[in-house]
Structure 1
């Protein structure tokens, strides 16, 4: 019997309320600057971003997009959607002199390895996290709840727990397959009650030029409530470049299984 996903939205709303004190809507009076230096003054223009994108990627789809069959790896412990990033939109103030160290995420390392692993053999998981902090986390750091690497990654992990995409899909009979294809509208009818109505299902082309489900980009306001009514909500600086594109509504796509032995060719 199919379970309703509507209660999940209510649960998510209550959970977000608990986190709101962490993520203050007001800009800090003084933004965090380079370590060891006096924090520079900030203004509302410096911290004008209002929308943030939380992106989850499906390892089976990500690896299928890589034509080089030696690049991808999926750790044996990974069997679910993983975090790609948390990206503020149109962030103006990015402190590129704020380095991230192993010690910043030491307490979170086990959770990050499980939920935010690097899927590339050429990049360690820490290098992946370091890159996401430098490109996106430091741009969000003018908001109090994001103003350290630890806080940025803590919030990302909390969001990963709230958005249980795989369970919601499985409850609705949507499962990875080498044969079955899915329509955008079919998947949207399942995800919308869980993630709101401002999100994007993204696909990539595999080596057979088939549309393959790659990731989901969920739009939030900077207080972490679902959706973002501000006019800046859309693509732009800080949205996070990726090889994905919106899945064409008229073309059914594959939701490929994870194959740890053959990650780029899971159905061969």
Structure 2
């Protein structure tokens, strides 16, 4: 009987330790974030086209695509907690700012809520041990306000005027303007031309501070190529 009781105690302690270890592993299960911003002109200038949000045409500025947890090896977690659905009431105080800085250009036209739901459930749930649902969206908005991506480019003579610019000059301008090396993603317009589409900046796992990227997204834009920066 004593041996059975002892075995039960060992099992209970082991189970407790397993829960703690597993929770800790989950709590630290990413290394950094990508703050991803997209140029609306490049989103719209494709064969798929775009639809302006129900609030009207967005400003001619980079907008937030997402705040994405990543691993140092270039992979990333996703859809981490199906028991944490998007709750619009959690971001009621942020809604106007999100419509301005994190709008959806997908068709049909919308108020952005479906887009935010996707970003939270795919990416945000993988960081909820660090950032609550409200804080996740607030962090992305704060980070966007902390760096002026378009301003950094325009200060270097790179304007959204339909001109061609080298990827290396774009990266140099962003490094000069933000202090960090950025990842560049291109897409293809209706005529098959490569164009500047998205900018990736790295953020520490607290979601608070920009940092040098452990790894940049691969295969997005060739550093030696010329790309269009379309107007919007």
Q: Which residue number in structure 2 is paired with residue 199 of structure 1? A: 182
Q: Which moved more, 1:189-198 or 1:106-115?
A: 189-198
The structure 1 residue matched to 2:225, chosen from 251, 257, 263, is 251
Alpha-carbon distance change, 196 to 45 in structure 1, aligned in 2, over 3 angstroms: farther
Gap change, CA 1:168 and 1:256, over 3 Å in 2: same
Gaps of 5+ in 2: 1-18, 71-75
2:154 is the alignment partner of 1:170:
yes
2:38 aligns with 57
Matched-pair contact (CA < 8 Å) for 1:92–1:139: yes
**CA distance in structure 2 between the aligned counterparts of 1:220 and 1:191, rounded to whole angstroms:** 15
Deviation at 1:139, TM superposition (A): 0.7
Residues 91 and 140, structure 1, Cα contact 8 Å, conserved in 2: no
Distance 1:56 1:216 in 2: 5
Change (3 A) 1:182 1:221: same
User: Which has the higher relative contact order, 1 or 2, with Cα contacts under 8 A spaced 6 or more apart?
Assistant: 1
Maintained 8 Å contact 1:72/1:119: yes
Deviations 1:4-60 (A, max 9, x none): xxxxxxxxxxxxxxxxxxxxxxxxxxxxxxxxxxxx855332123111100000000
Aligned residues: 202
Distance change (3 Å), C-alpha of 1:149 and 1:108? same
Aligned 8 A contact 1:88 1:136 in 2: yes
Counterpart of 2:114 in structure 1 is: 127
The answer on 1:154 being equivalent to 2:128 is no
3-state SS of 1:43 partner: helix
- Which runs of 5 or more residues in structure 1 are unaligned? 1-39, 236-243, 259-268
Give the one of 85, 91, 96 matched to 1:99: 85
CA distance in 1, matches of 2:39, 2:183: 14
TM-score, normalised to structure 2, is: 0.79
Structure 1 residue 85 corresponds to structure 2 residue 83: no
Shift of the alpha carbon at 1:114? 0.2
Q: Which has the higher helix share?
A: 2
Runs of 4+ aligned structure 1 residues displaced above 6 Å come to: none
SS at match of 2:142: helix
Larger Rg: 2
| Contact 1:204/1:245 (<8 A) preserved | no
Matched, 1:140 2:140: no
Aligned-partner Cα distance in 1 for 2:118–2:91: 14
Contact 1:203 1:245 in 2 (8 A): no
Q: Compute the RMSD of aligned alpha carbons.
A: 2.2
TM-score, normalised by the number of residues in structure 1: 0.69
